Amino acid sequence: MTVVCYECNTLLDDTNWNVSYQKSNTKICKHCFNSKFNAKNNKVNNPLAMYVNGKYISRKHPLYKPGRYKTFNDAAFEGTYRANSIKEGYVYVISNRAWPDWVKIGMAIDAEDRLNGYQTSSPYRDYTLEHKVYSANRRESEREAHTKAAVVCKGNKGEWFKMSVEQAITILDNLNEHGHVRTPTKADTHKEEDNLQGSLF
């Protein structure tokens, strides 16, 4: 007599059918039971798990929040109470070769994550994270950076400043308030596919 799982119609045998279920004639394989009834211990279906862009995020991560998100910023800004409670993060400089005289000075919990958000608006994926610095209070550090940039730029539109990348980097490297930590980094954001624009013209 063949017995099959009532969920997936897999043939049940001693390798995939719990002994206790054999005795009670409960026709469900181990896999279906775990995915349907034991979700708390199942990494894939665990409602308390966090995924960002399809990748599992450990509960030890400082930005851990249960759910599925495209970016860390999406996770942080879903529910403003969570976003407002996170002071740490980065102040960054982003450029785009389409506007060579302009840079964006902004702040984010994760600068690379923010860059990925910008890339979706460009078919050439031509935004570049030029520089970032960590801050214990990213909002205050961004405010300080904007104030300093407004003095030396030739014009500005919101967070975009008409100035050189070098000038913006100097401003970020000289932030000295609000718990700014002097660990500037230049991100390697140029990938093979980023060279598409050059090959299209």
Strand order in the sheet with 160-162: 127-135, 89-96, 102-108, 160-162, 156-157
On whether the CB atoms of residues 99 and 153 are closer than 8 A, the answer is no
pLDDT grade for 44, boundaries at 50, 70 and 90: low
pLDDT beyond 70 at 177:
no
Domain span at residue 76 reads 50-85
Window from 131-135, 146-150, 185-189 with minimum mean pLDDT: 185-189
Task: Check residue 43 and give its pLDDT.
Answer: 54
As a whole number, the mean pLDDT across the chain is 80
Task: Answer yes or no: is 153 within a domain.
Answer: yes
Q: Please report which confidence band the pLDDT of residue 98 belongs to, taking 50, 70 and 90 as the band edges.
A: very high
- Is the dihedral angle over the CA atoms 104, 105, 109, 112 positive or is it negative? positive
Same domain, 17 and 55: no
User: What's the number of domains the chain is made of?
Assistant: 3
Residues 114 and 161 placed together within one structural domain of the fold: yes
For 58-126, strand residue ranges (E) read: 67-69, 89-96, 102-108
User: 61 and 138: one domain?
Assistant: no
| For residue 127, pLDDT beyond 90 | yes
The pLDDT assigned to 196 comes to 39
d(CA 47, CA 104): 37
156/111 same-domain check: yes
Residue 44 CA, chain-centre distance (Å), reads: 19
Residues 6+ apart with CB under 8 A from 34: 41, 42
Q: What is the pLDDT of residue 197?
A: 41
Task: Give yes or no: residues 108 and 131 share one domain.
Answer: yes
**CB 145: neighbour CB atoms within 10 A?**
26
What is the rounded distance in angstroms from the CA atom of residue 152 to the CA atom of residue 4? 74
Find the mean pLDDT for residues 137-163: 95
Query: 1 with 70, same domain?
Result: no
**Do 76 and 102 belong to one domain?**
no
Rounded Cα gap, residues 122 and 200, in angstroms: 14
Q: Assess whether 171 and 142 both reside in one domain.
A: yes
Asked if the structure places residue 45 within a domain, the reply is no
- Tracing tokens 């004639």 back to the chain, one arrives at 25
